[in-house]
Amino acid sequence: MFSLKNKNTIITGGGSGIGKAISLLFAKQGANVHIADINKEDAEDLTKEIENASGKAFAHQCNVADQQQVTEVFKKINKIDVLVNSAGVSHIGKAHTTSEADMDRLYSVNIKGVYNSLHAAIPLMQQQGCGIIVNICSIAAQVGLQDRFAYSMTKGAVYSMTLSVARDYLADNIRCNCVSPARVHTPFVDGFIAKNYPGKEKEMFEKLSKSQPIGRMAKPEEIAALVLFLCSDEAAFITGTDYPIDGGFLKLNN
């Protein structure tokens, strides 16, 4: 079950964090994994790791905010069976403390970056008569998270784009869904805590972990497993749906 054997998959932001976990799992399930990441070294290192485990992977340096770069990378790959939009950036701030530069930065990556990938991939999927898209969204799209004004805005857009794409390309046999994690323990989280709470790393890690009713953060591999299911033939009847993977955050926090 959940085989992606010989399927061409592209994961944006696939060289680190959640994207890395997805790249590794897809390769394990037999996919030809195309890792598109702004960090060339991350993409190349992960490609070698996958190849050393007898998987198939290809590294592409790509800034998703640059439509020309995205188009060139996708045309080079040519056949895309699965697209996972995982590239993203975060920001801490309220409406009055968020600068115009930060707002533009989050828009460029989290919204325009997803659009650029969709814009490049969908025509290729139409030509072959099928395709699967999964967007990495967030619980921030559905609830008011403190100090996450710009980030929440962008994830709300990802959720809306998911619904639009799922509706617009039904006749092309293109499925589109999204997953909405709560906090996921990645190197980004560790770096954020170290930068903003020096000397209180352990205390803040426990506090952030316990904000999920289940009592911990998600593992990147757990997010990857859900994405794999949605990209597999076993999920062929699922489209236009958001899947919270949040340790009970949305329903059990009172």
Catalytic residues: 151
Using DSSP, how many helices (H) and how many strands (E) does the chain show? 10, 7
CA distance 94 to 151: 10
Amino acid 97 reads T
The H or E element that residue 177 is part of is: strand 174-181
Q: Is 242 left (phi over 0), alpha (psi -120 to 50) or beta?
A: beta
Amino acid 193 reads I
Residues 6 or more apart whose Cβ sits within 8 Å of residue 118 = 83, 85, 133, 161, 165
For the record, the structure tokens of 124 come out as 């290729």
CA distance 34 to 117: 13
Q: Is 147 left (phi over 0), alpha (psi -120 to 50) or beta?
A: left
| Cα–chain center distance at 95 | 25
- Is residue 29 within 8 A of residue 6, CB to CB? The reply is no
> DSSP strand E in the chain: where?
8-12, 32-37, 56-61, 82-85, 131-136, 174-181, 242-245
